[in-house]
Amino acid sequence: MKNPLFISFEGLEGSGKSTQVGLLASRLREEKKEIVVVREPGGTRIGELIRDITNGRQNVDLTAVSESYLMAASRAQLVREIIKPALKNGKIVIADRFIDSSLAYQGYGRDLGEETIWKLNNLAIDKVIPSVTFFLDVTPKIGFARRNETVKIDRLDLQQQDFYERVYNGYKILPEKYKERIIVIDSSKSIEEVSQKIWSIIKEKF
Ligand code: TMP
């Protein structure tokens, strides 16, 4: 793995992203790779403050545009503070969500459009694009059934079902557009099967 490697994970709530991020990081560490794991929104001090706003249940008055800028601001901070320096130092970066979350949630879910979200994020990402993105594909129904068993409900969980249908629809469109980067993984399978699949792709590609 000579080139900087930036891996992102995407998917709906309950798609198993965080579990798979953890499993992949462990496997790479076993291979003595230096890994940096980040999440969005968050991952930096400022980013975590932003996350408190975007995920705060009380913030129902947050507009779609403000939400988009906050996600981009958190990303701008993360790219400059953590991701770019890590890649420069030859580390592997694994991100639990990145630009595609904004495209899916704000672009499609909030109907702001993909182009608008790209424009708003260009400065934030500063040309940093993942080498590979795993879209963990579970339907909103499966995702929510799983999530309700495990975690506390945040502001975005309170959205209407049609919002998540639009987000999911966006997530299905993105891999067709960015074929060279986004890989769709059937995440309704077992944790072990999904992690094995991801590992085989990483080994083959990198
Ligand atoms: P999670 O990381 O626990 O899934 O929570 C993050 C929430 O923020 C999730 O509902 C997705 C949402 N989100 C966006 O709407 N746009 C973004 O760009 C990002 C990174 C997250």
pLDDT in tens, the chain (206 residues): 456 899 999 999 999 999 999 999 999 999 999 999 999 999 999 999 999 999 999 999 999 999 999 999 999 999 999 999 999 999 999 999 999 999 999 999 999 999 999 999 999 999 999 999 999 999 999 998 887 776 667 777 767 889 999 999 999 999 999 999 999 999 999 999 999 999 999 999 88
Place of tokens 């891999």: 175
- The C-alpha atoms of residue 29 and residue 155 are separated, in whole angstroms, by 34
Pocket test for ligand 1, best of 105, 108, 158, 164 (most atoms within 8 A of CB): 105
- The beta-strand segments (E) located in the chain are 5-10, 35-39, 92-96, 132-137, 182-186
Distance 124 CA to ligand 1 centre (A): 16
Q: What are the pocket residues of ligand 1 if the criterion is a CB atom closer than 6 Å to any ligand atom?
A: 13, 39-41, 54-55, 71, 97, 101-102, 105-106, 156
Residues 6+ apart with CB under 8 A from 135: 10, 11, 100, 171, 174, 175, 182, 183, 184, 185
Sketch out the chain's domains with CATH numbers. 5-205 (3.40.50.300)
Is 18 annotated among the ligand-binding residues?
yes
Atom of ligand 1 lying closest to residue 13 CA: 4
pTM of the prediction? 0.95
- The pLDDT of residue 1: 44
Distance 6 CA to ligand 1 centre (A): 19
Query: Strand 5-10's sheet: what is its strand order?
Result: 35-39, 92-96, 5-10, 132-137, 182-186
Among 206, 199, 122, 135, CA closest to 168? 135
- The pLDDT of residue 144: 84
- The pLDDT of residue 3: 65
Distance 40 CA to ligand 1 centre (A): 7
Atom of ligand 1 lying closest to residue 96 CA: 2
Phi and psi at residue 133, to the nearest 5°: -125, 125
Nearest CA, atom 18, ligand 1: 102
Among 32, 1, 8, CA closest to 182? 8
Pair of tokens at residue 148? 């309700």
Nearest CA, atom 13, ligand 1: 101
